[in-house]
Structure 1
Amino acid sequence: MRLGALPASLLVTTLVLEAVGVALSWGLEPRFQTVVYCLYTVTLAASGALIAARHPRNAIGWLFSATALATAVTADVAQGWGLRAPAHGWPAGPLGEWISAVSWIPAGTAIVFTLLLFPDGRLPRDRWRAVAWVNVAGAALLLPGWAFGPDLGSEFLTGRNPYVVPQLPAGPLVAAGMALFLASLVASVVPLVLRLRRATGVERLQLKWVVFGAAVSVGLLPLVALLWSVFPIVQSVSAVALAALPVATCVAILRYRLYDIDLVISRTVVYLTLTALLAAAYAASALVLGIVAGGRSAWVTAGATLVVAVAFRPLRDRLQAGVDRRFNRARYAAVSQVSGFLEDLRAGRAAPEQIQGVLRRALDVDDLDVRIHLPDSGTAVDLRGQPVVDRPDDARERWPIRHGGTTLGVALTGAAPERAHALLPTLLDVGALAVEMARLRVELRRRLGEVEASRARIVAVADAERRRIERDLHDGAQQRLVSIGLALRHAQHSIGSGAGEAVRTIDGAIAEITVAIDELRELAQGLRPAHLDGGLGPALRELARRAPLPVRVDATADRFPADVETAAYFTVCEGLTNAVKHAGASTVVLSAGRQRDRLVVRVIDDGVGGARPRDRSGLTGLSDRVATHGGTLVLDSVPGRGTVLTAEFPCAS
């Protein structure tokens, strides 16, 4: 934002005067006071320039700028001149001290008028306008009584006020003026509080900021006035109290949505209370340990520090919960709801994908959507892992979700209430762990899907290769051997029965060729049985017909994908072979059927049982084969009660 000519000129003039004042005062008073008061004046000038540039018709900006300029001249430059004058023989040194000593009265009046002018820069037209007149009357009584009274002498290097008017009743004037002045200062906050109770929306957010700043100023300034001469360090606190109001007012007018005022108030109350409690705990611990250990020792300090360190986190959490429950019940209820969901999540009673619904209920909104960013693919998905595409007409506001320094995704909200906008960043911080878990689950499902797809491709390629070898054996080597056998048989007929030895040799060669053909046929069928062309049922019945023991087949007539049928067939073959060779079974039952979206095959025998898969055994290899197709293998084999081998394969419905 660019400043106008007049606001910029006032700001630059104030900064130059402050630089002069710091240079004059440096080393002649406590340096922290010099720095603190300089920061207050600069803060006031900057706030006034920003407000005046953005809202030139608002009197608050000009009031801040004028007060800052006057403070730079009367408080800082005048004080520096008064402190520096005696050492250098400059004139009017006491006058500079006198002007600096009374400069706080106009500054206090500016605070009252700021509170009354907020937010539009006009005085109220009702009974609260009388507060301004009471403040002016108080300042009119306080200024002469303070400026020309003997009590001001403590502010001079000589310890005496050279401008005392003996005939002036300074004491009664100061007492009456201070009473009216402080009463008007406190009363100026009351209309703000009353308006805050009635306000909604933007006005409520603005009033919260100013009430907070005013509470800090009004709460600390009377305390500073009472302890001004008792504890010198308190004098610097007044600068902090004075700076709170212009900062809060500037934020309220220009950037009231940028910061969560409820969070600022909550944190302020928590940390002030926490500081007081920890200080008390440290003092009490040091006292008790000093009595026990005797005297002041390093063990006493270390023990008291340990007590404070251990108590910090649980005490802070309890204070934060108590403050939110008392002063910000909406935030407390929303955070408690999300925190309760996280507890259920850790206990396994909830799924991380439910975080979107939890946030909607906590904020009482219906159009909040959580989207996850997948870092590898760069795509955005919802909590279920479904890809989402940003629409050009989607004008919803975006809130980043971060956890551990990583941006996990965004939350999108529409025209949500101000309360929801204020609470959402906090709730996203609390619930970011659930979003992180949901993202990991989505990535895991995508990786498993890729692995399953890769497995399916490998199986399909292997099955296609087996089919190719089968065709090559059947159409190539096998046919050539058949042709050779026929040629030899033709040669045998051509020779006739006269050459007995040659005929016997040809008979032997034809027999060997026949054996080779049978072996090639068995090998080709082992790659993928030809019976599977008619379905799994006929293939299992053919397998049962060739078995050396009674086998009953209960198989569906449904067809399944070729690779699934092949895998199921070889699983049954392995189970049947184990039943024949190792189980000593007398009967076997083979079954195959569809259960929802899965093909389930079983091999049941009445053998000795007690089968266990061992390393490099046939059952272990069979389990790997089934897993390659995304299926599961279950072996139920009780000694003396037979064996049930069950394999399930996913298949299309």
Structure 2
Amino acid sequence: MMAATWDARQVDGAVVGQGAPWRATLGSVAVLVIGVCLVAAVASVVTQYHGGDGRRRLQIRWLLAAGSVVVLLLVGGWGAEAHGASLEMAYTPFLLALVLLVPASVGIAMVRHDLFDVDRLLSVSMSWLVTLVASAAIFAAVVTIVSRAVGAGAGLGPAAAAFVTALALLPLHRILAGALGKMLDRDRCVALAAVEQFAADVRAGRRLPEEVEVVLQEAQGDPGLRIALARPDGWSDLRGVPVEEPVGFALEAGGDTIGMVTLGWESARARRRLADLVRVAWVPIEVSRLRLVLREALAEVEASRVRLVDAAATERKRLERDLHDGAQQRIIATGMRLRSLQQRLDSRAAAEVDTAIGELEVTVSELRRLAHGVRPSRLDDGLGPALEGLLETSPVPVDLHVAVLPEADEARTLTAYLVASEAVTNALKHACARRIGVQLGAQGDRLTVRVSDDGVGGIPDGGLTALRDRVASVGGSLQVDSPVGGGTTISAVV
């Protein structure tokens, strides 16, 4: 276009001096090429806008608007020139938009939408500049005051001014940096304040430390931000779900890496801001890690306790069968052989054998009692039938109600039986009860046992320690309601 219009000039609104005809052709081609380039440039920006993420769209939005205005003004200039407008009138708006709007849109993308870290640079530079000016003002003011007080030739003014300025320099810079940061780098100050408030809420118990990831995402303006916690066997998120080894900003405590923060949007400004935010959020992140470790340790203890209880229940069952089917049967068989031998003895020897057989019968009774205490064999028929057999021998009426029971392992079934048995025994021995009620039911997948009587009550708070420990061994809970003179109700969930 410059070559085509090299000798041209405008005289009274008409373009003259274009010379050879090829210049006009070249000018037309130039206009077409310029138009194609502008359309291609706009199409490129539009393509990046539609294909980019949220942050990229924010960066391009203002540039897209400015570029559209520039193109429209250029097209309008062409139209104005075609209708006889002067070159100044036709293209001055286009040139102003090109010079002012495009840089302004890029500046907005830089300052507001993380294109470059200009806001931080501007904030730091301005804070030191204002600090320098304020320090010079303090120095001059102190010199003037001291000189007037002690005399202009004393030489004390500069020394006193230097001393006062040195004392005020760092506090003054800290105050000015905070004030200017709120004006020039407001996003960073607001983000830091939000994270500081969250950390304070965590310390006060008003919020959970596991919310730190969401808080950092909002403060950073990055929904893709993720926190990974270091574990002895790898990495996990805040919920304890294993994740692959991350790459990002490392969090350290005592020289050990305790976590890693990964950004969804990477830039120098984002990394610097994240470093500031993480310093504030370090305590909630570490508390989250410790809570996760504690929960897993408690879960492992609970699993270990369950395994021990199951092993104990299995051992009880084996011991009960050994007593019933082993020693007890052999003693009975020995007694029968002695009876058979007794018939062939004289009266004196027969009396001795009779005494021995009596001792064997006592031993068998003792073994049956021990076997029943370890694990009653009637539990093989189910919890309901086992309690029916137990309550048949009660000297006072017992109302037994058995609802539909959930599936339960050996440990829980035995615990429920022993709770009901011991509660009924206590009511018979100590409560002077005239009637006892036993109810078996379900609470979700748990067994419930409720034993009530109309006795004297008065069980002290914290009583029935052995019964509480038995229920707690299978992860259950026990409640005792025993007002004096109002009977006793024992409720257990196992």
Q: TM-score range by the shorter chain?
A: 0.5 to 0.7
Structure 1 residues 384 and 317 mapped into 2: Cα distance closer, same or farther (>3 Å)? farther
Cα deviation per residue 1:425-469 (whole Å; 9 max; x = unaligned)?
222222121111111110110110111122122222222322232
**2:37 matched residue in structure 1:** none
- Does the 8 Å CA contact 1:403/1:432 hold for their aligned counterparts? no
Secondary structure class of the residue paired with 2:478: strand
Residue 448 (1) aligns with residue 298 (2): yes
The one of 163, 185, 198 aligned to 1:328 = 185
Whichever residue aligns with residue 396 of structure 2, its letter is L
Q: How does 1:257-336 map to 2 (within 5 A)?
A: 262-263=119-120, 266=123, 321-336=178-193
Give the match for residue 644 of structure 1: 489
- 1:271 and 1:378 map into 2 onto residues whose CA distance is 47
Q: 249, 268, 278: which is aligned to 1:428?
A: 278
Equivalent position of 1:237 in the other structure: none
SS in 1 for 2:242: coil
Quote the residue 1:47 is aligned against: none
- Aligned CA distance change for structure 1 residues 443 and 501 (closer, same or farther; 3 Å): same
The residue that corresponds to 2:61 in the other structure is none
Preserved CA contact (<8 Å) 1:345 1:351: yes
- Partner residue in 1 for 2:239: 384
* Inter-CA distance 269–648: structure 2 relative to 1 (3 Å threshold): farther
Percent identical: 39
Please tell me whether the aligned partners of residues 403 and 429 of structure 1 are also in contact (alpha carbons under 8 angstroms). Answer: no
- Counterpart selection for 1:337 from 186, 189, 194: 194
Q: What is the alpha-carbon distance in structure 1 between the residues aligned to residue 270 and residue 198 of structure 2?
A: 18
Contact 1:196 1:204 in 2 (8 A): no
User: How do 1:201-216 residues align onto structure 2 when only pairs under 5 Å count?
Assistant: none
Q: Can you list the C-alpha shifts for 1:268-296, whole angstroms capped at 9, x where unaligned?
A: 6557767958x969x99xx9xxx9xxxxx
Aligned to 1:511: 358
Change (3 A) 1:628 1:359: same
Q: Which residue of 1 aligns with 2:218?
A: 361
Contact 2:406/2:447 (8 A) holds in 1? no
Count of residue pairs the alignment pairs up: 375
Rounded to whole Å, the distance in 2 between the matches of 1:493 and 1:540 is 42
Q: Distance in 2 between matches of 1:347 and 1:572?
A: 44
User: Is the 8 Å Cα contact of residues 109 and 115 (structure 2) preserved in structure 1?
Assistant: no
Q: Is 1:544 the counterpart of 2:398 in the alignment?
A: no
1:482 CA drift (Å): 0.7
CA shift, 1:558, in A, is 3.2
1:566 to 2:414 alignment? yes
Shift of 1:551: 1.9
Change (3 A) 1:602 1:207: closer
Residue 319 of structure 2 corresponds to 469
C-alpha distance 571-267 of structure 1, shift in aligned 2 (>3 A): farther
CA distance in 1 between counterparts of 2:211 and 2:304 reads 31
Q: Which whole-Å CA distance do the structure 1 matches of 2:225 and 2:350 have between them?
A: 92
- Note if contact 2:471-2:478 (Cα within 8 Å) is conserved in structure 1: yes
C-alpha spacing 1:629/1:272, structure 2 compared with 1 (3 Å): farther
Map of 1:40-79 to 2, 5 A cutoff? none
2 CA distance for matches of 1:634 and 1:403? 44
Q: Where does residue 467 of structure 2 map in the other structure?
A: 622
Q: For residue 106 of structure 2, what is the aligned residue in structure 1?
A: 198
1:151 counterpart residue number? none
Aligned partner of 2:205 in structure 1 is: 348
Shift of 1:538: 2.0
Q: Secondary structure at the match of 2:243?
A: coil
* Residue correspondence of structure 1 range 476-555 to structure 2 within 5 A: 476-495=326-345, 499-555=346-402
Is 1:613–1:620's contact at 8 Å kept on the other side of the alignment?
no
2:456 counterpart SS class: coil
List gaps (5 residues or longer) in structure 1: 1-190, 209-259, 292-300, 391-395
Deviations 1:202-225 (A, max 9, x none): 8999997xxxxxxxxxxxxxxxxx
Distance, in Å, in 2 between the alignment partners of 1:500 and 1:596 is: 66
Rate the CA distance shift 1:266–1:533 in 2: closer, same or farther, 3 A.
farther
The match for 2:435 is 587
Amino acid at match of 1:600: T
How far 1:398 sits from its partner (Å)?
1.3
Secondary structure, aligned partner of 2:475: coil
Unaligned runs of 5+ residues in structure 2 are 1-98, 150-159
Give the aligned partner of residue 78 of structure 2.
Answer: none
Distance in 1 (CA, whole Å) between partners of 2:420 and 2:228 is 46
Contact 1:549-1:586 at 8 Å conserved across structures? yes
Supply the distance in 1 between the matched residues of 2:415 and 2:368 (Cα, whole angstroms). Answer: 20
Q: How big is each residue's C-alpha offset from its partner over 1:325-351, in whole Å with a ceiling of 9 and x where there is no partner?
A: 211121122222222322332333321
Q: Compared with structure 1, are the counterparts of its residues 597 and 320 closer, same or farther at alpha carbon in structure 2 (3 Å cutoff)?
A: farther
> SS at the partner of 1:553?
strand
How far, CA to CA, are the matches of 1:562 and 1:463 in structure 2? 6
2:311 and 2:219 map into 1 onto residues whose CA distance is 52
- 2-structure distance, mates of 1:610, 1:538: 31
1:519–1:319 Cα change, 3 Å? farther
Indicate conservation of the 8 Å contact 1:205/1:261, yes or no. no
Alignment counterpart, residue 398 of structure 1, candidates 248, 251, 262:
248
Query: Would the aligned equivalents of 2:227 and 2:261 in 1 still touch at CA under 8 Å?
Result: yes
* Alpha-carbon distance, 1:533 to partner: 1.7
Amino acid at match of 1:339: E
TM-score between both structures, scaled by the size of structure 2: 0.65
Query: Aligned letter for 1:341?
Result: F
The one-letter code of the counterpart of 2:215 is: V
Q: Distance in 2 between matches of 1:366 and 1:356?
A: 10
Matched residue, 1:11: none
Does structure 2 retain, via aligned residues, the 8 Å contact 1:593–1:600? yes
The 3 A distance-change label for structure 1 pair 397 and 481 is closer
CA–CA distance in 1 between the matches of 2:107 and 2:126? 23
1:230-249 pair list within 5 angstroms: none
Question: Quick one: which amino acid aligns to residue 409 of structure 1?
Answer: G
Return closer, same or farther for 1:201/1:624 CA change in 2, 3 Å cut-off. Answer: same
Partner-residue secondary structure (3-state), 1:629: coil
Q: Within 5 Å, which residues of 2 pair with 1:75-114?
A: none
Name the residue aligned to 1:407: 257
Matches within 5 A, 1:12-31: none
Q: Contact 1:402 / 1:432 at 8 angstroms: preserved in 2?
A: no
**Residue 622 (structure 1) shift:** 2.2
Deviations 1:495-531 (A, max 9, x none): 5xxx444444333332322221121112112111112
* RMSD of aligned Cα (Å): 3.9
Counterpart position of 2:33? none
* Alpha-carbon distance between aligned partners in 2 of 1:551 and 1:421, rounded to the nearest angstrom: 73
Which whole-Å CA distance do the structure 2 matches of 1:576 and 1:266 have between them? 78
Distance 1:535 1:348 in 2: 47
**2: CA distance between counterparts of 1:317 and 1:585?**
78
Q: TM-score, normalised by structure 1?
A: 0.50
Aligned-partner residue type, residue 312 of structure 2: A
Residues 104-253 of structure 1 mapped to structure 2, 5 A cutoff: 195=103, 198-199=106-107
